[in-house]
Chain A
Amino acid sequence: MEREEILSAIYHCVKCKLCSISSFHPNEEWLPLCPSGQFYGYQAFYAPGRLEIFREILEGELSEPSDGLLKAAYACTLCGACYEKCKQITSVEIRLPELFEELRRELVKKGWILDAHKNIVEKIKETRNAYGEKVEYRAKSVYGADVLYFIGCTARYRVPEIADAMLQIFDKLGIKYQVMDEEWCCGSVLLRTGQIEAAKELMEHNIEAIKRSGANIVVFTCPGCLNTIEKNYPDMGVELVHSTQFLTRLGNMEVKKLDMKVAYHDPCHLGRDLGIYDAPRAVLKGVVDITEMKREREQAWCCGSGGGVKSAFDDFALWSAGERIKEAREAGVEVLVSACPFCKRNLREAGEKEGMKVYDVVELVNKGLEG
């Protein structure tokens, strides 16, 4: 975005702060929507205050990377809930998550980067994955198969049960698939933390690898990877689909219904970024009974993991996930299901003490198929 475009957007915010709560009417319930504002409290952590910080940076009034500046800029999950709410009440587009990414790019240009985020770059340089893991996640692969499964760093190295489940689903359904021998990090975490240059090599590698695979459909269990490849990569002439979209297309999979009542948590990248709300619900309905939580779809409360927050502000990330666990509990369930490895990892960590079980949609589908 050009400087003038950014300032124009900033000057359009009238500071009503309705972006900090979910739609109040008609249920008349006060439900916060902005995790960073709710956790840190200072105005700097709500969208209107963060915009003022950005303005002062662009206008040259803020010239030092204070702790507060770095925290206000980076302790935001870029969940986009503020933008969704703002859209409801204004005819002027203020694309808040994009602006906050721009803010980070501006800081990176000045060298104002968090150590935690610099470390990710180093890990990726060394291992090509965001966690610096040297052990490969191994999966069998059918060379030339039409379906390519892009696993992603988190499902490979932190919640491999998601990747395992997806691969087993392919096998059980008799779908031939391939995985990339050299799948590099998609670059999402770098792009979201403003480190665009560092992401370029990864993108180039993955583009070549995907093209070389000859696959026509790329399936993702990670909405972060899907969102990045769809929006930040050039068109590669292949179809990009989330696992739940892929499964929905298969029609009746003859899964056994599990005796389980669950709440579904909308991942930010899948829902607010890509507009995919119905496919995960449709797939889940075939396997379990779903109870909706109070904040859902466009106004879902973020799990707290995205935008580089988990790596840099784990206390905040876990608090945000804890709030979601409480909401699931209030909805009367003991199982929370998401469709994103980031969400699963963070929600599971926060839910352990609370006795809340957390799954990805594909894990439950896989269980249902076992029956």
Chain B
Amino acid sequence: MKLKQSKFIKELQAIVGEENATDDRAICASYSRDQHWHFVPAKNPACVVRPANKEEVREVLMLANKEKIPVIPYSTGINVRGLTIPVYDGSILLDLSRMNRILEINPEMKTATVEPGVTFGMLLEKTKKYKLRPAFPDAPLTVSVLVNYYLRGIYQTAAADGHDHVLSYEMVLPNGEIIKTGSRALSQMPYFRYGVGPDFTGLFCAHPGTCGVVTELTAKLYRLYDNRKVYFVGFDNVSTPTKFIYNLMNDELAASIRLVDSQSWLKGICGTFDYPYEKLPKFVLCILVEGLNGIFEAKDKLVVGYIKESGGKVLDFPEDFKRTFEEESLGGAEKSCMVFGLRGNYHCIGLYGPLTLAAKYYELHEKTALEVGIPKDHVHFYLDPIYSFHGQLCYVELDIFYDGSELRFGEKLRNYNEKQFQRLLDLGIYGWFRPYAGIIEPTVARIGYLAEVWKKFLEVLDPNGIMNRGKLF
């Protein structure tokens, strides 16, 4: 897959314009690494291409497909887990940040249609005037809406949003064909996911890489309510609040429910490092109640009742902590990202699993970390339940905050991962949040014939293997 560099870059420049394609070594170097470099070492793409529209994307893909050159789609430049770091020499990095138009906000349909370069911040700025918001990931609001939904359509900072925020999208395949999913294939109304036959919207989502390049996507928007109330309740362990969380979820009472470690995530949720967090209970359940007049008061009353019987300690935090929690949960993560800066880097395994296993996930996290020599005060945790609560679905994050400049720490993290992936699979999970390096192999080994079908599916879509399939097959 070697590029005949100068000729090829000229062909790319002919498609996107001279200033939007480069093989400059330094420009390529700026895309060489993300925060996951302990696992995915730096690697430069051979060139960077910045298309402005789907026609240009299509032409670039067709050219790459003809030449059998790998393509790494990249959206707004906030990348984790090595997902946009090239695997092969000679790759094209397809920087989609110029495609940053919000194509439609439809308040009647409660939907937004966006290009890949649109961030959560950009989208909320436009939707808030309709008292609507997107479902937010617990990632900086500088990340791409389209890519995050396409990568894994489940987000959790507002439990009430549930999962499956994607309705339909348009995707360019390596051969230049364009697929429209859901009702988008039939009409100008892209608002229904199950429009035509099987759920192709879901079929292409959540791969450990990409099947093509999604150039526009329609997603659900959710209501913003004026009535809001916030509670912080402290607990000394993970198991005590699980009954309380179950009650809140079962009765569908709170918009946001987050069980966070008071020494890490709580600092971000409250928006400051400057508070005696060390005096707090180890875990804090952050609860946000919202709703229309009447409904809000009724929900709030029930929540207060459950708090009383929860066995937790109600924490009297300053008003600005409450406001920050509201903003971070229903307006996108900004100060929450303070946790990244606790020691200068973070490692996490995010997974989906039932609330019933929450305490065991934490126990296993701490056990494995200590075994590989990770200090106890580096070990952190959070859990967000997700509506509807079938399967008691929760997002669980097993975090390690460490000094990013301590290069030897990487060995500990790699040892941790190696043990922990197997242990978690043995304990039982619903799925992984991200295709972390080294996670695919032990997982695929357990999924039987599904792996074969999955492989064949990707071969049909991308016979030359040019798309970034992550570490899969």
Whether A17 contacts B22 in the complex (CB less than 8 A), given A41-B98, A89-B337, A91-B273, comes out as no
A26 to B33, CA, bound (A): 32
B272, chain A: closest CB distance, angstroms: 10
Contact with A along B64-98 (1 / 0, CB 8 A): 00000000000011111000000000000001011
Answer whether residue B404 sits at the interface, using C-beta atoms and an 8 A cutoff: yes
Q: Which residues of B, 27-43, contact A by the 8 Å Cβ criterion?
A: 27, 29-35, 42
**Nearest chain B residue, comparing its CB with the CB of A27:** B125
- Residues in chain A near residue B338, CB distance under 8 A: 89-91
Q: A68 and B22: CB pair below 8 A? A: yes
Q: B25 and A42: CB pair below 8 A? A: no
B311, chain A: closest CB distance, angstroms: 32
- Residues in chain A near residue B119, CB distance under 8 A: 30
Q: What class of interface size applies to chain A in its complex with B? A: 35 or more
Whether A42 contacts B50 in the complex (CB less than 8 A), given A17-B142, A62-B29, A67-B24, comes out as yes
- Residues in chain A near residue B30, CB distance under 8 A: 42-44, 48-50, 52-53, 72
Contact with B along A61-93 (1 / 0, CB 8 A): 110101111001000000000000000111110
Q: What class of interface size applies to chain B in its complex with A? A: 35 or more
Q: A66 and B331: CB pair below 8 A? A: no
Q: A16 and B337: CB pair below 8 A? A: yes
Which of B32, B125, B405 makes the CB contact (< 8 A) with A56?
Answer: B32
**Nearest chain A residue, comparing its CB with the CB of B268:** A89
**Nearest chain A residue, comparing its CB with the CB of B27:** A68
Q: A89 and B345: CB pair below 8 A? A: no
- Residues in chain A near residue B345, CB distance under 8 A: 11-12, 14
**Nearest chain B residue, comparing its CB with the CB of A72:** B26
Task: A13-B35, A15-B78, A43-B77 given; name 4 further pairs at CB < 8 Å.
Answer: A42-B27, A44-B29, A52-B42, A89-B337
B contact residues vs A (CB 8 Å cutoff): 22, 24-27, 29-35, 42, 48, 50, 76-80, 95, 97-98, 119, 121-122, 124-125, 128, 140-142, 273, 323-324, 327-328, 331-332, 334-335, 337-338, 340-346, 403-405, 407
User: Could you show 28 A-B contacts with beta carbons less than 8 Å apart?
Assistant: A8-B405, A11-B344, A11-B345, A12-B403, A14-B344, A14-B404, A15-B80, A20-B142, A21-B142, A25-B324, A25-B332, A25-B335, A26-B323, A28-B124, A28-B331, A42-B48, A49-B30, A49-B31, A56-B29, A61-B29, A62-B25, A62-B26, A67-B24, A68-B22, A68-B25, A68-B26, A89-B341, A90-B341
A contact residues vs B (CB 8 Å cutoff): 7-9, 11-18, 20-21, 23-26, 28-30, 41-44, 46, 48-50, 52-53, 55-56, 61-62, 64, 66-69, 72, 88-92
